[in-house]
A and B are shown apart, each in its own frame.
Chain A
Amino acid sequence: MSIIVKNISKSYGQVKALDDISLEVRPGELFGLIGPDGAGKTTLFRILTTLLLPNEGTASVNGFDIVKDYKSIRNNVGYMPGRFSLYQDLTVEENLRFFATIFGTTIKENYDLIRDIYVQIEPFKNRRAGRLSGGMKQKLALSCALIHKPKVLFLDEPTTGVDPVSRKEFWEMLKRLQKQNITIFVSTPYMDEAELCDKIALITDGKILQINTPEAIKASFPKKIYKVRSSETFKLIQDLGTYNKTHSAYPFGEYIHFTSTQSDFQPSELIDYLKANKHNQIEVLETNATIEDTFMELSK
């Protein structure tokens, strides 16, 4: 196993940031930690990168204990913190060279590994890192975290604050890196990115809700889901909220995802109810559960 986490708990004063977390990541796996802000994702990253000590439990990265062998872990992992943490007053190339040097390697030696990513920012290699756009900053940070060919790569919310196109590119790069046999442990608040992972752990309020492949997690959704639409979305949400057969109703883009408390629920019942409430252009269709649906259901 590349990463083993066993019953880890961590508190800051009264606040329990992580509550009895356990998970395992196989070598070469792209593992996603999915959860909203404040769920404890960064705390778990910092514990695994030996920056914080857990209050309880044990963990190992690449077979090294996070407390005893912290020095070995620091030699073997790549870490990209959630906040952009490169030197803003150094140029792109200087940043990369600096990180290569402190890890005892050179840009040339591991250029193959970062080439796909670095070519995109290479035209700006003499620009100071502080003046790069958000997407380019992330690519540089990833290059810097990769330059020493780490066995495990920790990416804490690498796509937060990045535009959709760059996000997509970024995930494509992660997929390519995975083929180089690098274990990737990534966190994100975006549910759509979860689908791109081999395995995900849903986390909220310091507790893990479920760990499985994205497909299995979606399949585990216990109810039929209907996507509902009408001409008046806001009124629709309100009316669904007061409907006596509503189990859940969450907005998803232009639709509302609806589940019923009744197991023998028929969509026609809902259409009648909405018609009675003077909705027009009513649309009720059965749909597949997304990870977000599962997340909402589990964290209910």
Chain B
Amino acid sequence: MKRFIGFIQKEFYHILRDRRSLFILFGMPIVQVLLFGFAITNEINNVDIAILDHSKDATTKEIIAKISASKYFSIKQVIDNEASIEKVFKKGKIKAVLNFEKDFSKKLITDNKATIQILTDATDPNTANTISNYTTSILKNYQQDLNRGIQLSYQIEPKVRLAYNPELKSVFMFVPGVMTVILMLVSAMMTSISITREKELGTMEILLVSPLKPFQVIIGKVVPYILLAVINAIVIILLSLFVFKMPVQGSFMLLGAESILFIINALSLGILISTIASSQQTAMMASLMGLMLPVILLSGFIFPISSMPLPLQILSNIIPAKWFIIIIKGIMLKGVGLNFIWKETLILIGMTLFFITISIKKYKIRLE
């Protein structure tokens, strides 16, 4: 045990003396959260839209009023025929056109069904996507109110409420993603680099010719990074709590436990990389290309998994980050307990055990 503590102490010396890495380690999460929170946003505000209303009845007017009342849209133009749609889009200012069909109210009452066409300018697909989402949710809201009015008469109360993220703040969506990316980066990349550094500098040779057992070396490498990653997770959560006023709905204990599970998962991946890579550079490239890109692209952090082609959707299942994002979104935004996320948790535990087993099997007790 004394040996093990001595080893961990040495690891801390390495980490604390490498000022540059230390700065990156702690600066990066802060910069990333602020960047994603403030700069990179797919929120929309005061988007210019146009209305094409074929029926001009009470219901459509009500809906139009509702849309213009929201701060997301401002109605800049009212057009009266289909031909004008392309014209307004071509001018480029108008990002969406709402096209109400004829006899809207009548259809709604007799058929229980009326249609609004939402036309968006998809040259900027992200905005277009968001606009259609926002409009749809406003319409759904209106429809709910309408139905509720019918069941409990006289109680039409226009109240916009969007589930989980009432203000549609994108930072709420990004925090779980950024946290996942950072934990993955700190844990996997840093451990794989720190193990391969010993190989590169030749110190692994001496460590091998010593009574230290392989698992002691590996655990000794991992423990300091668990600590660092936990600190990072706490920093990110504090930032989102106090800078972005993002509440954590669920239990902090559960959030912490799940985060540690994910950190261990990422660390075991890092160890796996280091058993294959022979230089720090290879380890870094492997971590960046092999872990970071899938985490950013395939985990549902930026691009919704449901809109990916099927092969990528299937592929996304083997990415631990996907499951972790589901878990922390659940805890942070929806406030769910373990009974809702036990499946994802089990998947993460399974993956972790798998990676650790392979790493131990692949760990070389000799130089070749």
Contact = CB atoms under 8 A, between A and B. Distances in A.
B208 A51 contact: yes
Interface string B1-43: 0110111011001100110000000000000000000000000
A81 interface: yes
B297 interface: no
Interface string A38-80: 0000000010011111000000000000000011001101010
Contacts of A102: 3, 6-7, 207, 210-212
A268 B3 CA distance: 70
B6 to A, nearest CB: 3
Nearest to B10: A98
A74 B215 CA distance: 15
A265 interface: no
Nearest to B208: A51
A81 B366 CA distance: 14
Interface string B64-91: 0000000000000000000000000000
Contacts of A89: 13-14, 17-18
Contact of B211 (A52, A53, A75, A98): A75
A243 interface: no
A86 interface: yes
Given A51-B366, A53-B366, A70-B365, A79 B3 contact: no
A103 B211 contact: yes
B208 A101 contact: no
A282 interface: no
A292 interface: no
B211 A81 contact: no
B205 A51 contact: yes
A205 interface: no
B281 interface: no
A63 B184 CA distance: 47
Given A101-B2, A104-B2, A51 B10 contact: no
Contact of A51 (B201, B203, B209): B209
A85 B210 contact: no
A77 B209 contact: yes
Contact of B209 (A50, A84, A101, A104): A50
Interface in A233-263: none
Contact of B10 (A46, A83, A87): A87
Contacts of A97: 6
Interface residues of A, number: 30
Contacts of B3: 101-104
B206 interface: yes
B125 interface: no
B366 A50 contact: yes
Contacts of A144: 206
A22 interface: no
B125 to A, nearest CB: 48
A12 to B, nearest CB: 9
Interface in B153-209: 201-203, 205-209
A88 interface: yes
Contact of A52 (B201, B203, B206, B367): B367
Contacts of B18: 89
A153 to B, nearest CB: 12
A104 B203 CA distance: 18
A94 B13 contact: yes
Nearest to B5: A101
A56 to B, nearest CB: 16
Interface in A156-201: none
A90 interface: yes
Contacts of B365: 70
Nearest to B202: A85
B278 to A, nearest CB: 15
B368 interface: yes
Contacts of A70: 365
Nearest to B211: A75
Contacts of A85: 201-203, 205-206
A74, A79, A86, A103: which has the most chain B beta carbons within 10 Å? Answer: A74
A77 to B, nearest CB: 7
A51 B210 CA distance: 11
Nearest to B207: A102
A8 B130 CA distance: 71
A102 B208 CA distance: 11
A70 to B, nearest CB: 7
Nearest to A53: B366
Given A51-B205, A74-B211, A87 B366 contact: no
A74 B202 contact: no
A52 B209 contact: no
11 contacts: A50-B366, A53-B368, A77-B209, A79-B205, A79-B209, A81-B202, A81-B206, A87-B10, A94-B13, A102-B210, A102-B211
Interface of A: 46, 49-53, 70-71, 74-75, 77, 79, 81, 83-90, 94, 97-99, 101-104, 144
Interface of B: 2-3, 5-7, 9-10, 13-14, 17-18, 201-203, 205-212, 365-368
